């Protein structure tokens, strides 16, 4: 088996950073990360692993050791690229971009370097079709989040050698992954062709860990492998999703006659809430995490929230950074446009407008994910630093046309609601007159761009919560903008409890609460389970 020492991750986005973190767990490996643009890899990894630190899954020393084994470059002619024994590509899911990336790598790496593509659907045979050494090319499909889910599919192309596939399998095992070999390059590989309830059999949410409980993972209709073709959007409704969960519950009722808990995070939290509303008696306990209950497609509560969150000093530092990005538009916009073109990003608005929207989105995204304000570059920082930080927090791929998360935006615009932007502090520098209806303009399928918002669902859920008192525990983060649309207004209920993590973000969980509140939550759940 070929000896592997130097590993290169090509593409330093969220998935690339997570994969780099995984390989750095093996002290025998030196991990290089390459991206077209400067990226703060360390800050990104620290943000992605904060919960692991908080829960004691990894120590600060262990994280520091891993980070010491990771180096970054945006120079494709660097030694990190030339000396790589194994390369894992994690660039944008675009065939042209992937092929061009590997062509550049093949021209610079050694003839025996192993190439891997982290694609969930694209054929390794197609991606590698124009390479000279196709025998040393395989697919490595990491499931997102790549640093948490152990499964990795190793997919042979029509030319991959058995030796290369086995080498990759051994490398993955050495960093704690559970690789499964897909010997034939077929659409969807292995796991995508299975029910998610099966392939995620070993996947554990927080409650399943805390209670040592069985879990049924239900994929939301119109998402991932549950997306129909053609997409008939009329069937993508909250009520239909609740009906889906009810059908699953009934199907498994005889197998699991005991207590049932419904739970989910973010949109999953919303779904947990609406499921309880439509089917109040289906489950015994509901635990929605960071679940918003929005009243409109631009709800109106998020902007005032961001004007009051944390301290005046933190808010000023954020706004100063946003203003600095806008002031440097003449210098940074050409770079921004080049980045979008090289990543194959297509938009429904001019690229300058997308630049402005990235700036507007920045404050929401930073608070949502709990990025430390201290990580924001000074206004005197170089263009490289400013640009890299903007992309790391508020990437333009969020605003692309024909987004893979279009179903989410359709539901937000139809009945789940969303948030707006405060343009007042930035008016002087913006190319857009108003951000109103940005969701319709930028993210909805063309045929739905005029779709009206229906308040029926939010009114139904609000009425249900006010008039009933089911056993429910809501978890929110104090600094998470989504908390502005949370149900923190619920008071005086015997069974509905709302917990807010001090200083917490969208990553707020039972495990991140103060010890006393964590204890209270678990006592409530265990008491209810005994009843």
DSSP string, 189-256: TTGGGS-HHHHTTT---HHHHHHT------PPTTSGGG--SS--GGG--HHHHHHHHHHHHHHHTTT-
For residues 446 and 33, what is the distance between their CA atoms, to the nearest angstrom? Answer: 37
- Residue 267 — very low, low, confident or very high, per pLDDT cuts 50/70/90? very high
Of 353, 356, 361, nearest in space to 318 by CA: 361
pLDDT at 482 over 50: yes
Q: Per residue in 317-370, pLDDT tens?
A: 999 999 999 999 999 999 999 999 999 999 999 999 999 999 999 999 999 999
Phi first, then psi: what are they for 156, rounded to 5°? Answer: -75, 140
Tokens of 284: 């015994």
Which residue ranges does the chain devote to CATH 3.40.50.720?
6-193
**Angle of helix 383-393 versus helix 329-342 axis, rounded to 10:** 50
Q: What is the structure's pLDDT at 201?
A: 42
Three-class SS of 357-390? HHHHHHHHHHHHCCCCHHHCCCCCCCHHHHHHHH
Whose tokens are 């991206």? That residue is 35
**Angle of helix 329-342 versus helix 351-368 axis, rounded to 10:** 90
Q: What is the structure's pLDDT at 185?
A: 58
Q: What is the structure's pLDDT at 120?
A: 66
Mean pLDDT over each residue of the chain, to the nearest integer: 91
- Is the separation of the CB atoms in 424 and 435 below 8 Å? no
Phi first, then psi: what are they for 499, rounded to 5°? Answer: -120, 135
Which residue ranges does the chain devote to CATH 3.40.50.1820?
199-226+234-295+457-530
Q: Tell the burial category of 447 from Cβ atoms under 10 Å away from its Cβ (0-12, 13-18, 19+).
A: exposed
Of 143, 99, 152, 150, nearest in space to 124 by CA: 99
DSSP 104-116: HHHHHS-TT-EEE
Higher-scoring residue by pLDDT: 494, 158: 494
- Residue 183 — very low, low, confident or very high, per pLDDT cuts 50/70/90? low
Phi first, then psi: what are they for 477, rounded to 5°? Answer: -110, 135
For residues 389 and 375, what is the distance between their CA atoms, to the nearest angstrom? Answer: 9
Instruction: Give the bridge partners for 139, in sequence order.
Output: 117, 155
Fold held by 6-193: Rossmann fold (3.40.50)
pLDDT at 525 over 50: yes
Give the global pTM. Answer: 0.70
Of 294, 287, 235, 265, nearest in space to 415 by CA: 294
Looking at 369-512, list the stretches that DSSP marks H as alpha helix, in order from N- to C-terminal side.
383-393, 406-411, 438-442, 456-467
Q: Are strands 86-89 and 70-73 parallel, antiparallel or unpaired?
A: unpaired
Torsion (CA) 264, 266, 272, 278 in degrees, nearest 10: -160
For residues 146 and 144, what is the distance between their CA atoms, to the nearest angstrom? Answer: 5
Tokens of 223: 């998402």
Distances (CA, A) of 361 to 248, 390, 465, 494: 37, 10, 31, 38
For residues 33 and 74, what is the distance between their CA atoms, to the nearest angstrom? Answer: 8
Determine which of 40-49, 327-336, 443-452, 494-503 has the lowest per-residue pLDDT on average.
40-49
What CATH class has 199-226+234-295+457-530?
A: alpha beta
């Amino acid at each position: 088996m070929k000896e592997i020492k130097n590993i290169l991750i090509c593409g330093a986005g969220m998935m690339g950073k997570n994969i780099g973190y995984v390989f750095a767990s093996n002290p025998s490996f030196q991990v290089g990360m390459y991206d077209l643009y400067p990226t703060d890899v360390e800050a990104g990894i620290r943000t992605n692993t904060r919960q692991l630190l908080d829960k004691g899954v990894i120590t600060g020393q262990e994280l520091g050791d891993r980070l010491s084994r990771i180096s970054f470059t945006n120079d494709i002619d660097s030694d990190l690229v030339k000396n790589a024994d194994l390369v894992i590509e994690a660039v944008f899911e675009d065939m042209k971009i992937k092929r061009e990336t590997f062509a550049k790598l093949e021209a610079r790496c050694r003839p025996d370097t192993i190439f891997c593509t982290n694609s969930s659907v694209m054929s390794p045979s197609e991606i590698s079709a124009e390479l000279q050494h196709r025998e040393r090319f395989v697919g490595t499909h990491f499931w997102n989040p790549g640093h948490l889910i152990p499964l990795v599919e190793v997919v042979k192309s029509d030319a991959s050698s058995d030796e290369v596939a086995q080498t990759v399998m051994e490398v993955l095992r050495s960093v704690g992954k559970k690789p499964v070999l897909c010997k034939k390059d077929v659409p969807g590989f292995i796991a995508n062709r299975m029910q998610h309830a099966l392939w995620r059999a070993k996947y554990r949410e927080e409650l399943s860990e805390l209670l040592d409980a069985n879990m049924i993972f239900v994929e939301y209709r119109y998402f991932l492998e549950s997306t129909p073709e053609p997409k008939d959007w009329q069937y993508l409704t909250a009520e239909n999703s609740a009906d889906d969960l009810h059908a699953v519950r009934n199907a498994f009722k005889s197998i699991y006659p005991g207590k049932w808990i419904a739970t989910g995070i973010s949109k999953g939290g919303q779904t947990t809430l609406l499921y309880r509303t439509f089917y109040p008696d289906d489950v015994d306990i509901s635990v929605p995490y960071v679940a918003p209950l929005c009243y409109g497609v631009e709800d109106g509560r998020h902007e005032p929230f961001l004007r009051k969150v944390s301290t005046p000093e933190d808010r000023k530092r954020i706004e100063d950074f946003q203003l600095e990005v806008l002031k440097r538009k003449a210098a940074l916009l050409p770079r921004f446009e080049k980045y979008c073109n090289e990543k194959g990003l297509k938009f429904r608005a001019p690229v300058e407008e997308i630049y402005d929207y990235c700036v507007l989105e920045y404050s929401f995204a930073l608070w949502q994910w709990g990025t430390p304000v201290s990580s924001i570059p000074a206004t005197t920082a170089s263009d490289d630093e400013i640009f890299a930080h903007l992309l790391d927090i508020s990437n333009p791929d969020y605003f692309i046309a024909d987004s893979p998360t279009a179903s989410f935006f359709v539901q937000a615009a139809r009945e789940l609601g969303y948030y707006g932007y405060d343009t007042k502090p930035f008016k002087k520098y913006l190319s857009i007159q108003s951000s109103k209806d940005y969701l319709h303009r930028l993210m909805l399928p063309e045929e739905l761009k005029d779709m009206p918002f229906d308040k029926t669902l939010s009114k139904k859920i609000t009425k249900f919560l006010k008039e009933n008192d089911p056993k429910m525990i809501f978890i929110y983060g104090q600094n998470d903008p989504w908390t502005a649309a949370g149900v923190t207004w619920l008071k005086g209920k015997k069974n509905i409890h709302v917990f807010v993590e001090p200083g917490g973000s969208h990553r707020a969980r039972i495990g991140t609460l103060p010890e006393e509140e964590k204890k209270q939550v678990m006592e409530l759940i265990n008491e209810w389970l005994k009843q």
